[in-house]
Amino acid sequence: MNATVKPSQLIKGATGDWEIVIGLEVHAQVTSNSKLFSGASTEFGGEPNSHVSLVDAAMPGMLPVINEACIRQAVRTGLGLKAQINLRSVFDRKNYFYPDLPQGYQISQYKSPIVGEGEVIVDLDSGDSITVGIERLHLEQDAGKLLHDQHATMSFVDLNRSGVALMEIVSKPDMRTSEQAKAYVAKLRSILRYLGTCDGDMEKGSLRADVNVSVRKPGGPLGTRCEIKNVNSIRFIGQAIEYEARRQIGILEDGGPIDQETRLFDAVKGETRSMRSKEEAHDYRYFPDPDLLPLEFSQAYVDALKAELPELPDAKKARFIRDFALSPDDAGVLVSERESADFYEAVLGKLANAARDGKLAANWVINELFGRLNKDGHGIAASPVSAAQLAAIVDLIGDATISGKIAKDLFEIVWQEGGDPRALVETRGMKQVTDLGAIEKVVDDIIAVNPDKAAQVRDKPAMIGWFVGQVMKSSGGKANPQAVNDILKSKLGL
């Protein structure tokens, strides 16, 4: 747990300050072709009950057989969370009755999960970072889907999701603000997407969170917590925490008790409300599933998966900072989404001199490209400017063929019309003038018609800026700024 809490992280109540304690259980759908224990498809959508085998429908006599790809994905995710990988784990039955669960139990892992303790480093907007502990990760089956609005007296049951593999990733109660919780989920999602173990699509329900919230006097004993079920967007997670913390503080300050209960977040009203409390709701009567042997694999298996892990956001960020002298902020922006990092790396791969122009390329990706994409509401996948085109523009600046200012015009042309930046620079006469003779002539002309200013500049060297501006203006922005500076200095005797 984080040792100290900053005053800015506390909530002011009528009786003083309150500290929020937050822990998250994230359910992440494993990326796999078929389900955890059957050969039915995991594809999203599909006709009702089409992606269902007799195993998923829990027909008598059907037996589960585990999908080895799901095991691999869980281990890889554990490694990405720098977590303990358990070479032996056990599947248990979690018993409850509900129409979306035809078996009458969910196959899950209770006492012996496949992955134990790990950690996630979470960067915050303030520039600080926190470490959020991972308690465990276990594999379990998803349930089916119920539709309540199709019929007056009946609910419709679709088992297409039934049996799809989920990873439940349980954090330690290490977060103290809604901002931290949101940043944690964003970081976790990013790691999963880098690993390719979960697509992180919250709209399709591939990633959803149960949020545990309690409040206490700063540093005091933990309060009673409430669990807000199935929150399916990062923004809603933040809203649910804010609402729930204030609700609990209100009750405590009025002298009331907090009931430990399960609540739902109503996104329309922006509030949490109690689920009809089910007595004995938590009596799941877990026991080891007699249909499944313990899950065992060797350390060599884990090591082989570890050797093949892709570079993850933290390592990539450190490399960008080290190799291209990017600022931590810029590197953080580039690595936060896998697609952004991939695009930047594709640009690097096309650059003539990546070591020299890597930082310049980062500026162009972040400021010009992302700025323009945001303005037009495009994602990076829909960028009209390809990595190769952007690299060519950066090359042209890097080798002093064009100035940064002209490059912005060129970027706009490529964005609007497409085309090869090098060819465009030739055909549209955008090349920087590096012919020193030509620049000298312009400089001479300007000094000749402005003898008074030429005299003043010897006392006020800052006035050279005015001359630079004049030269650039008369060259249509194409004169090489460095050459202009050098020639002006020598001609003006500075």
Partner 1 sequence: MSVDATTVRRIAHLARIAVTDAEVPHLQGELNAMLAFVEQLSEVNVDGVEPMTSVTPMQMKKRGDVVDDGEIADAVVANAPATEDHFYLVPKVVE
Q: Which backbone phi and psi does 129 adopt, to 5 degrees? A: -135, 150
Q: Which residue has the tokens 């902020």?
A: 329
Considering only the stretches 92-100, 119-127, 306-314, 444-452, report the one whose residues sit in contact with partner 1 under the rule CB under 8 A.
92-100
* Cβ at position 45, least distance to partner 1 in Å: 13
Regarding 164 and contact with partner 1 (CB under 8 A), the answer is: no
* Cβ at position 156, least distance to partner 1 in Å: 4
| From candidates 6, 15, 54, 445, binder to partner 1 by CB under 8 A | 54
Regarding 41 and contact with partner 1 (CB under 8 A), the answer is: yes
Regarding 294 and contact with partner 1 (CB under 8 A), the answer is: yes
Regarding 155 and contact with partner 1 (CB under 8 A), the answer is: yes
* Cβ at position 146, least distance to partner 1 in Å: 7
Regarding 34 and contact with partner 1 (CB under 8 A), the answer is: yes
Alpha carbon distance 238, 297 (integer Å): 39
Burial of 229 (0-12, 13-18, 19+ CB in 10 A): middle
365-to-325, 328, 344, 416 alpha-carbon distances in Å: 15, 15, 7, 17
Q: How many CA atoms lie within 13 A of 115 on its CB side?
A: 29
Regarding 158 and contact with partner 1 (CB under 8 A), the answer is: yes
Footprint on residues 97-136 left by partner 1 (CB under 8 A): 97-99
Paired tokens of 136? 């465990």
Regarding 47 and contact with partner 1 (CB under 8 A), the answer is: yes
Q: Which residue has the tokens 């009458």?
A: 104
CA dihedral defined by 292, 169, 278, 49, rounded to 10 degrees? Answer: -60
* Cβ at position 296, least distance to partner 1 in Å: 6
**Residues in the chain, overall count:** 494
Task: Select from 364, 292, 375 the least CA-distant residue to 324.
Answer: 364
Q: Which long-range contacts (CB under 8 A, 24 or more apart) does 371-377 make?
A: 372/411, 372/415
Judged by beta carbon, residue 159 or residue 195, the one nearer partner 1 is 159
Regarding 57 and contact with partner 1 (CB under 8 A), the answer is: yes
| From candidates 53, 141, 340, 401, binder to partner 1 by CB under 8 A | 53
Paired tokens of 104? 């009458």
Regarding 382 and contact with partner 1 (CB under 8 A), the answer is: no
* Cβ at position 7, least distance to partner 1 in Å: 40
The pattern of x and - marking residues 61 through 80 that bind partner 1 according to CB under 8 A reads ----xxxxxxx---------
Footprint on residues 296-325 left by partner 1 (CB under 8 A): 296
Paired tokens of 92? 């248990």
Give residues in contact with partner 1 (CB under 8 A).
Answer: 32-34, 38-41, 47-57, 65-71, 95-99, 146-148, 150-159, 264, 275-276, 280, 283, 285, 288, 292-296
